[in-house]
Amino acid sequence: MDKIPRWADIFLVPFINLVLAFAASGLVVLAIGENPFDAIYYMIRGALGSTSGLGYTLYYATNYIFTGLAVAVAFHARLFNIGGEGQAAVSGIGVAVVVLAFDWPHWALALPFAIIGAGVMGAAWAFIPAYLQAKRGSHIVITTIMFNFIGAALMGFLLNGILKNPNTQNAESIGFGPGAHLPTAHEVLAPLGIAFSKSAPLNISFLLALLCAAGVWFLLWRTRLGYQIRAFGQSEAAAKYAGISSVKIIILTMLISGALAGMLSINVVMGEQERLIKEFVEGAGFVGIAVALMGRSHPFGIVLAALLFGMLTQGGFELLWEMPAISREMVLVIQALIILFTGALDNMVRDPVEKLFRRIRKGRI
Amino acid sequence: MELTETFLQLILTLDMTVRLSVVLILACLAGLFSERAGIVDIGLEGKMLIAAFFSAVAAYHSGNAWIGVLAGIAASMTFALIHGIASIAYRGNQLISGVALNFLASGLTVVIGNAWYKEGGRTPPLAGEARFSEITLPFADLIRDLPVIGPLYADVISGQKAIVYLAFLVVPLTWWVLFRTRFGLRLRAVGENPASVDTAGISVNRQRYAAVLIAGVLCGIAGAYLATSQAASFGREMTAGRGYIALAALIFAKWRPFYALMACLLFGLLEAISNLYPNIDVFGIFSIPVQFTQALPYILTVVILAGFIGKAIPPKASGEPYIKER
């Protein structure tokens, strides 16, 4: 069968998918009796119109880069890690334990250890599903879903038990010390003479996210392990024949995936909340699926898709102020439609595009 | 005295188990139809949620609970159809389609609910005919005073709502359809070996659409039960992960109808226990935290999946789009 050109595969098809998703979202806005074009304007203004909006947009994007990379790495080995939500949640325990264990003198010292804590816990939560997939053939989609719920129960147990702050009614840990405070965008940019909103939660985790994106690119396309992961994803049988151990690839890929999802808690728990609360992931693990799909599982695409979803999330919150008839769940609707059109209904666009290119080619010859 | 107290607690627990299992049973059977035909459905949750919303809306405006059920079925079937089109016609990823529909339901219900009623996604309370009332079976009051059997009949078996009885009837019906009819044979064949069904001149796609739509009907009834029987209005995220528990029960039941009933009753019992007895004291030595009881269905499912207690083998072609040879 004729393949469509690369640019059409990477840009044209996702773009049409996106347009369809937004058109469907527009219909929902219209059905509520609001003007969808006004809604888009308010969302863009809310997401990018001020340094505060931009700070929130990039803060959310940071989360989505982490979870998007987590899903993408697994995708490359043809594993569907739907457990980013649980892995990220449990990784928060790692961050909290590391940060609360010592009276850290400086954030630069605390950060590497917190990263290890988050990574280890995130990876640990991915390990059991990975092991069961590799050794016992238990479907990883179902086991990771189950582990999302088990993770939520574990968080509830710990935050109502040994990690609970005795001075409050809420299920949350005690606050982190000032020594573990990550520099925010305001604190980093102010000495350089750039004014940035004080209230925006954007912090240096954003740089960590970009670093992870570069790292994932290097891993997948410049290392032996990355090659093995991709080979395994292309054809398990061929990879086995080439001497690649499926057990090793499944487990290693999922550990990396879980650790990446775990980095989310560096941004949220350490960077913003500065304490461990129960539901800090807020669906970012699931958004990671959409981000990985939009970004075609490539780190560069994921960063772009994460920025788009960050804009959506922040813009959606701002929309509330301008259009009270619309609730913040509109963001969820848009995300769902993007997942639907780019992920599940992809062939609805791809088939006609392929047909079109075939016709163009025939016309030329 | 002590014994009667324990017995009353038991009756209360069993009654609650039955009430809570209904949603799981219907959703689990929905998943059973779909997955037996080779279409993986993790969108049970979303279908039930959208059905719960529209059934509450329709029941409120019509004042009739059955119209609510019909509206719920219609909403759920619309979602089922999208899932069908994505995974059958466009050979899309069934898991991703399910995830998207779950998201869509949790977003749409609140967005529309808030726009219409301005109560944070909640719909107006249902009263009178808009809500299902309890059905007292014959002789319930007559034999209530009999020991053991009496309260069991009067308080657990009798006095439930219409959909409860319906759900328990759907179990043998599902078994009969799947294992005793030509339709059922074809449906199962499509899930195991679609190519052979195709060779026999039967449309794989039509069978799969039928299965997906049946799943839509069952999820619709389940959602309507939540909003018009268990509760008296729609509340945001009111399915609360039950679609996933049903999915777990389906695996636990190894894709069989009567096993599914047992698994759903077990998981319903666990939910009833965690509602009634948050922290269970074991001989005063240690207490089982409520989170453990809540997580137990998921833990059990992982154990089953791991193959430590029997082996859960899904229908062979499930999750695979069928591409007709040309």
- As given in the structure block, the two tokens for residue B57 are 């809306």
Residue B317: pLDDT band with limits 50, 70, 90: confident
Contact at 8 Å (CB) between B171 and B258? yes
So what's the architecture of B2-123+139-305 in CATH?
Orthogonal Bundle (1.10)
Task: Note whether B301 contacts A: Cβ–Cβ < 8 A.
Answer: yes
Mean per-residue pLDDT for A216-225? 97
Q: Which of B130, B161, B212, B125 is nearest to B21 (CA)?
A: B161
Q: What are phi and psi of B93, to 5 degrees?
A: -75, 120
Collect all residues of chain B within an 8 Å Cβ-Cβ radius of residue A331.
Answer: 107
What's chain B's average pLDDT?
Answer: 91
Q: Which runs of consecutive H residues, i.e. helices, occur in A33-106? A: 36-48, 51-76, 84-101
| DSSP tag of A172 | B
CB contact under 8 A, A289 and B96: yes
Whether residue A364 is predicted with pLDDT greater than 70 in this model: the reply is: no
Q: Do B302 and A343 touch (CB under 8 A)?
A: no
Q: Which tokens sit at B110? A: 């609140």
The band of B283, judged by pLDDT with boundaries at 50, 70 and 90, is confident
> Of A139, A142, A333, which is closest to B108 when you measure between CB atoms?
A333
From start to end of chain B, where are the E strands? 134-135, 160-161, 280-282, 286-288
Q: Which chain B residues have a beta carbon less than 8 Å from that of A80?
A: 95
Residue A281 has pLDDT above 70, yes or no: yes
Closest CB to A138: pick one of B42, B298, B305. Answer: B305
* Chain segment A244-277, per-residue pLDDT in tens: 999 999 999 999 999 999 999 999 999 999 999 9
- Find the range with the poorest average confidence among B94-98, B106-110, B298-302: B298-302
**In the prediction, which pLDDT does B25 show?**
97
Q: Does B150 touch chain A (CB under 8 A)?
A: no
Of B86, B99, B307, the CB nearest to A286: B99
Contact status, residue B154 vs residue B141, Cβ threshold 8 Å: yes
Residue B282's alpha-carbon distances to A43, B1, B275, B287, B289, in angstroms, are: 54, 22, 17, 6, 11
User: Which structure tokens are listed for B158?
Assistant: 């009798």
Residues of B whose CB is below 8 A from A132: 302, 305-306
Query: What residues of chain B lie within 8 A of the CB of A293, using their CB?
Result: 96
| Segment B92-113 mean pLDDT | 93
Residue B309: predicted pLDDT: 64
pLDDT tens digits for B135-184?
888 888 788 888 778 888 888 888 899 999 999 999 999 999 999 999 99
pLDDT tens for each residue of A72-119 = 999 999 999 999 999 999 999 999 999 999 889 999 999 999 999 999
Counting residues of chain B whose pLDDT is more than 90, the rounded percentage is 62
Say what the pLDDT of residue B326 is.
65
Predicted local distance difference test score (pLDDT) of residue A365: 55
Q: HSE (CB half, 13 Å, CA atoms) of A187? A: 9
Spatial distance between the Cα atoms of B7 and A137, rounded to a whole number of angstroms: 44
Averaged pLDDT for residues B285-303:
85
CA distance A328 to B194: 43
Mean local confidence (pLDDT), B109-118: 92
pLDDT band at A1 (very low <50, low <70, confident <90, very high): very low
Q: What is the least distance, in Å, from the CA of A262 to any CA of chain B?
A: 21
**B255 near A CB under 8 A:** no
Contact A149 B244 (CB under 8 A): yes
Neighbours of A224 (CB within 10 A): 8
Is B128's pLDDT higher than 80? yes
Of residues B93, B103, B115, nearest to A335 (C-beta): B103
pLDDT value of position B301: 84
